[in-house]
Structure 1
């Protein structure tokens, strides 16, 4: 099968390209720019385009399928050529469904936790040598790619993103998978550029719940009122399995899970991660892993890449880097770190980087999210606001939104860096939360702060 990728350099797209290449498909692709790690990984497989740009000559009737990435625009010359030739054009999730429609599809959804829960499930299955197909949004230890597709595996585990499928398909990705087994971890308003109201955002999860196949299984957090309402009010003929925060305790900086197998030490911490474990356990049990085997495996789970990742540590200082950017994630992460390290000073830094977080109308959602930090710092780049074509955000708007009088705000990356590197981190935890890089912060330099 010959498949061409328009915008092959994306995190998800290049992983799918590699997965199909390993399956024996003939893969070509284009992009206007490709950065590492996508670039070097494509190059290693012989899939890197010879030159960057869009080349309509690459599109011909011999192609069996076009896969269109979100990075492409609707006036992309390769897309226009494919449409003129009447070629079959798939979005990323559409093609994944085509690859898995004869399998048992397990889809993990929710505003937060979906990458971690998917990673937990795959870690447990891998620990017990259970082969499954998968698509996850982070690189995992022990897994070569973020996408794995075969003809023979019975199950596929999919991270169910609610963002749009492609420039020409405005449906949320997770609407297209039609799960046999699903999970919803929580609903907290996000992607306001696509879902302008909270009611509109919730509706996407209602549609997802109703998209489960007849008789399917929905595992859901009963502690999230929005999730509980969506799942329990659905008229879809599905089986419902609620989960909640499991019993646990913290001792000497280690979180222990109370189980029938005894008190189990974990490598992850925080109420959100403990809830993630509870949800992952239900999913694994529905996939044939018993409780005892689940607990044995989960003790060695160290977390998903970029999710509360410990990047440096000495006897008195710990530095974490986390992908958190939405209000619910920021609050959960900040709370988790403070609860785990009660005897240390918590310095929490948040970069406002996404479309939602830089939108003046959305900023109020961040109220009290950094309250658990002993010192709270917010960085944002006016340049990023301009790129996203948003109205300028003022320091006063940020200060008013977070409702914290001692909030430190930076708009200049150099000044932020100077401030950060002058900090005395003795007996402290430094938490850096962002989906960006604070205007060019070198995290290798940050790691060295524990040596000073």
Structure 2
């Protein structure tokens, strides 16, 4: 929301906003542009008929006093994706959908289009090197949209992706997530079926043909679309670096690694080709793509430790990330930490979905915070329940961050081989500085 506000501000709009809490990086960015509210909270007196529109964040409640005032006065109220569509409806819209890989695929396309000199607007869910912001609005003819299946707002509870009406879209994969919104797997999958059904006939659909559920959903709901498949490319590793075999048979080194990232790369390539980027130009441009923030992002490296951060939180993402690191670094001791932080991961009814997801690690550790459970108004969890969900007898479970830090420091110190430390969370492990923990312990 703050990135949309900044983009509109750069475009010459008068933008104000309210929230009950504003944290960094939003706080600093809004302060620097003079857009930070004087006070946090809700002030219905700010809502007048002089406003052209109100954009409603997904976390605002139905009884929000500013929302209620806007409705009383008849001021147009848009959810985030509804408003973005209003801005982008005159453009060629490219939407990236699916349970996983959306941010990486979107970022790869942005990286290549920028190098190709093609003007485009974008909406992406992470910070990306070479781009000052994550939302850009201009007079560019194309808009690239990372679309997710989470509800748009309290007033419009359909998935955000429903509102972009793209002429080109990509479906990366389907694996159950967001249990707090989609209580059954069938209900979750039906969102993608509806999404495809509502696309105009002839819409270009790039899809992951290696995902059996994607293939099934397209056969059921996407026969009216122009379908373009992509699959896993040929590759090999040399000294921890992935070498990708191109269409012409030559090999190119990549800055990213992992089967899931190479599959994402092929999806990005198919989209770029639909936008007029030749295959050879794509391969040349993608060589130095270093990944999006917290997507197998290198956190630090020493003579004996290499550490990566990753946003992985759903079971399929967790497994793909671990498998990628294991494949790239087969001779290192792999110590994997996972923080239960999302509604789904902290729900004891969902935990069994994680069975086997951390098996690739030499040492597997899971952490959860009672405070996070309270904030999300979820039932308390017991370490024994978490342990059972992962179906790994030697899994170590912690609900106190100090004990977790002590255990990780000990495992690293006792390792007789080089270590790969993998930190997986949509949170921060309570703000832990892991380099200090394992490199310079007190």
Same fold by TM-score greater than 0.5: yes
- How far the C-alpha of 1:45 sits from its partner, in A, is 1.3
CA distance in 2, matches of 1:41, 1:399: 41
Quick one: which of 159, 164, 167 aligns to 1:177? 164
Quick check: 1:263 aligned with 2:251? yes
- How far the C-alpha of 1:443 sits from its partner, in A, is 4.4
Quick one: which of 301, 314, 338 aligns to 1:313? 301
Quick check: 1:75 aligned with 2:63? yes
Match of 1:139 in 2: 127
Q: Is the 8 A contact 1:179 1:211 kept in 2?
A: no
Structure 1 stretches lacking a partner, 5+ long: 1-12
Match of 1:165 in 2: 152
- Give CA deviations for 1:136-156 in whole Å, capped at 9, x if unaligned: 000111111101111x21110
TM-score (norm 1): 0.94
Match of 1:198 in 2: 185
What SS does the corresponding residue of 1:435 show, helix, strand or coil? coil
What SS does the corresponding residue of 1:171 show, helix, strand or coil? coil
The 5-angstrom pairing of residues 5-20 of structure 1 reads 13-20=1-8
Match of 1:449 in 2: 439
Q: Is the 8 A contact 2:207 2:214 kept in 1?
A: yes
The 5-angstrom pairing of residues 16-95 of structure 1 reads 16-95=4-83
- Give CA deviations for 1:162-205 in whole Å, capped at 9, x if unaligned: 00101211010001111100001110000011000000000101
- Give CA deviations for 1:282-325 in whole Å, capped at 9, x if unaligned: 00000110100000000010000111110111232101111111
Structure 2 stretches lacking a partner, 5+ long: none
CA distance in 1, matches of 2:123, 2:291: 16
Match of 2:291 in 1: 303
The 5-angstrom pairing of residues 30-429 of structure 1 reads 30-150=18-138, 152-259=139-246, 260=248, 262-422=250-410, 423-424=412-413, 427-429=418-420
CA distance in 2, matches of 1:418, 1:235: 51
CA distance in 2, matches of 1:58, 1:39: 20
CA distance in 1, matches of 2:183, 2:230: 30
CA RMSD of aligned residues (A): 1.4
CA distance in 1, matches of 2:215, 2:242: 27
What SS does the corresponding residue of 2:439 show, helix, strand or coil? helix
The number of aligned residues is 438
CA distance in 1, matches of 2:440, 2:379: 39
Distance of aligned partners of 1:442 and 1:358 in 2 relative to their CA distance in 1, 3 Å threshold: same
Match of 1:434 in 2: 425
- How far the C-alpha of 1:212 sits from its partner, in A, is 2.2
Moved more, 436-445 or 35-44: 436-445
| Greater per-residue strand proportion | 1
- Give CA deviations for 1:351-402 in whole Å, capped at 9, x if unaligned: 1111100111100000000000000001111222222222222222111111
TM-score (norm 2): 0.96
- How far the C-alpha of 1:440 sits from its partner, in A, is 3.3
Q: Is the 8 A contact 2:316 2:357 kept in 1?
A: yes
Q: Is the 8 A contact 2:99 2:173 kept in 1?
A: yes
CA distance in 1, matches of 2:424, 2:281: 33
